[in-house]
Structure 1
Amino acid sequence: MPIFIGAAGFLILSIVPAHAYLDPGTGSMLVQGLIGALAIAGATVSGYWNRIRWAVRSFLGRGNNGKNGGK
């Protein structure tokens, strides 16, 4: 445990300025990544919602209500 504390202390004390540059395209890339993540999250939620809905309808005995040739 003392090694981890010593390593964390060393890392904190050895921080130097990075002088990094972010070009204008970086903001656009971040926005595209955020939009993509939201689209994936929406598709995932939609898929699980349909599974839950199907399971509840099957449990309640409503099935597919005669659609697609079902009885």
Structure 2
Amino acid sequence: MEQQGNGYAKAAMKALPEFVLHRYREIDEIILAVNERNIAAQQLYLKLGFLDRGVRKMGIHGQQLILHNRIT
């Protein structure tokens, strides 16, 4: 937890679409699951362009939001 709030996740998630685009040209969408209780992570992903299409799945630690980000 001491690394939380230092911007590491934001930097990694910002770099991810370009990385995927160049390494895996057949991939056109990144889909991730985030725990419903993890509001900070949800806000980060939404700010970075992920979309909440209302899909939910039950995970081992509770309800998960399924977020989508199209890459081109």
TM-score range, shorter chain: under 0.3
When normalised by structure 2's length, the TM-score is 0.28
Which protein is richer in helix relative to its size?
1
The structure in which a higher percent of residues are strand is 2
The higher radius of gyration belongs to 1
**TM-score, normalised relative to structure 1:** 0.28
